């Protein structure tokens, strides 16, 4: 007689089968399922494809709490202009800036618009005090301060501590807590018993019908992962039925780039500059774009150094590359943007900083309606409960056309 110990996961007196494996170690076979799923039309759902290839984290509930971290801004701007004045070394300059919480006492700052001497060196000041959006700076040298207009930049530099200083003001770029909901995605395939008997099948095989169902399910997930609205809905007050809708990464991204009509060569450089600077991120990012945006990129002169016609397969998807000194952009046409009425839009994502959470990993459950006395069919129900989050919102960017 066989004996199974569900606590220790041991099996005595019986061969190991997939059914037993699913009972003792239900997560063991999931990687094989994911490997088969990502082979089904990967280019149609690049976001879902990348998230599966990078792996998912398990979450214990439908609500996922996570932290996002952005780099502390490297500069601020004047909100109020400054009149011309003579400043001596050690004297205090009081300025109004546009953002609070960026500058802190004991930091040094640079004002590039104020230059000194024949070398045109920028003025360096010490931050004496900060009160909201009012800062007091101590000039490092004598200077004739010119008129400074609103919008003039002030660049953060290194701290300067005194000999007896032990502490500095607390660094204020702390993680911000956010949350998202896992959405339950499902697809159901039914076959009659007679149709089932006409096929040879062992376990869960991807028949033509099942493959089409997975393609449709992944397309739906791709749309939700991109443009979903995070919320909880009571869809039937009589029985309290509640559904969770996941929030898309389109709303989570912190940056946005606009273009007029079509994209020029200079526009591509500007796009790359904004995508790869001003925040945490890697030097390799992905542009998922609608057909109009892809058309604008295709009209550019491919012979220029900026564009590369080479293709590269990454995360199981064939990409075209745009190469610049800022970084490499992997470009792919995403039919989801067309289906959602945004063919002129796109989104640049950094795969290094996208996290997928799964409450219920992708699984297939067989249901026999024949045994239940409902109808003479067998069904396969595909289920996944998951969501996507952006850990560094500044590393991702929306691309939109000006209205």
**Does residue 258 register a pLDDT over 90?**
yes
Task: Give the residue from 177, 175, 179 showing the smallest Cα distance to 72.
Answer: 175
Would the pLDDT of 396 be above 90?
A: yes
The answer to whether 377 touches 369, Cβ cutoff 8 Å, is yes
- In sequence order, what DSSP letters do the residues of 164-226 get, joined into one string? T----PPP----EEEEEE-EEEEEEEEEEHHHHHTS---SS---HHHHHHHHHHHHHHHHHHH
Given a cut of 70, whether residue 305 has pLDDT beyond it is no
Q: How many CB atoms lie within 10 A of CB 298?
A: 12
Closest listed residue to residue 390, CA positions, set 272, 270, 285: 285
Q: Calculate what percentage of the chain has a pLDDT beyond 90.
A: 28
pLDDT at 148: 93
Angle 46-53/208-227 helices, nearest 10 degrees?
90
* Higher local confidence (pLDDT), 109 or 201: 109
pLDDT of residue 43: 66
What mean pLDDT do residues 8-23 have? 47
Query: How confident is the model at residue 306, as a pLDDT?
Result: 52
- Using the predicted structure, report yes or no on whether residue 80 has a pLDDT greater than 80: yes
Closest CA to 331 of 295, 380, 365, 281: 295
Q: Which residue has the higher pLDDT, 125 or 10?
A: 125
Contact 191, 209 (CB under 8 A): yes
Please tell me which residue, 351 or 194, carries the higher pLDDT value. 351
Which residue did the predictor score with more confidence, 168 or 285?
285
Indicate the pLDDT class of residue 225, thresholds 50, 70 and 90: very high
Provide the CB-side half-sphere exposure for 288 (13 A, CA): 28
Asked which of 8-22, 54-68, 190-204, 230-244 is least confident by mean pLDDT, the reply is 8-22
Model confidence at 193, in pLDDT bands (50, 70, 90)?
low
- Residue 4: predicted pLDDT: 47
């Amino acid at each position: 007689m066989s004996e199974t110990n569900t606590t220790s996961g041991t099996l005595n007196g019986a061969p190991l089968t997939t059914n037993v494996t699913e009972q003792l170690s239900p997560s063991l076979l999931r990687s094989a399922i994911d490997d088969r799923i990502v082979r089904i039309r990967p280019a149609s759902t690049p976001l879902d494809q990348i998230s599966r290839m990078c792996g998912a984290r398990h979450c214990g509930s439908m609500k996922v709490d996570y932290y996002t971290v952005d780099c502390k801004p490297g500069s601020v701007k004047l909100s109020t202009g400054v009149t011309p004045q003579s400043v001596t070394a050690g004297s205090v300059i009081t300025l109004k800036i546009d953002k609070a919480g960026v500058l802190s006492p004991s930091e040094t700052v640079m004002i590039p618009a104020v230059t000194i001497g024949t070398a045109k060196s920028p003025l360096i000041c010490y931050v004496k005090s900060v009160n909201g959006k009012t800062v007091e700076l101590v000039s490092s040298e004598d200077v004739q301060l010119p008129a400074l207009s609103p919008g003039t930049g002030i660049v953060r530099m290194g701290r300067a501590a005194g000999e007896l200083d032990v502490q500095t003001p607390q660094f204020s770029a702390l993680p911000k807590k956010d949350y998202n909901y896992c959405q339950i995605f499902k697809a159901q395939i039914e076959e009659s018993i007679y149709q089932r008997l006409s096929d040879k099948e062992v376990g869960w095989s991807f028949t033509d019908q099942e493959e089409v169902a997975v393609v449709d399910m992944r397309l739906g997930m791709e749309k939700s992962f991109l443009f979903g609205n995070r919320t909880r809905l009571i869809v039937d007050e009589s029985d309290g039925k509640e559904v969770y809708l996941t929030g898309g990464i389109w709303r989570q991204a912190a940056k946005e780039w606009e273009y007029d009509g079509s994209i020029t060569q200079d526009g591509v450089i500007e796009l790359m500059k904004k995508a790869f600077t001003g925040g945490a991120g890697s030097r390799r990012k992905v542009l998922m774009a609608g057909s109009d945006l892809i058309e604008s990129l295709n009209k550019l002169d491919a012979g220029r150094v900026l564009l590369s016609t080479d293709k590269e397969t990454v995360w199981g998807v064939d990409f075209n590359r745009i190469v610049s000194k800022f970084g490499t952009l992997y470009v792919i046409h995403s039919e989801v943007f067309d289906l959602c009425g945004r063919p002129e839009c796109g989104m640049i994502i950094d795969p290094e900083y996208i996290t997928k959470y799964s409450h219920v990993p992708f699984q297939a459950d067989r249901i026999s309606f024949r045994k239940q006395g409902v109808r003479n069919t067998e069904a396969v129900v595909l289920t996944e409960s998951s969501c996507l989050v952006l850990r560094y919102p500044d590393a991702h960017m929306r691309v939109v056309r000006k209205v």
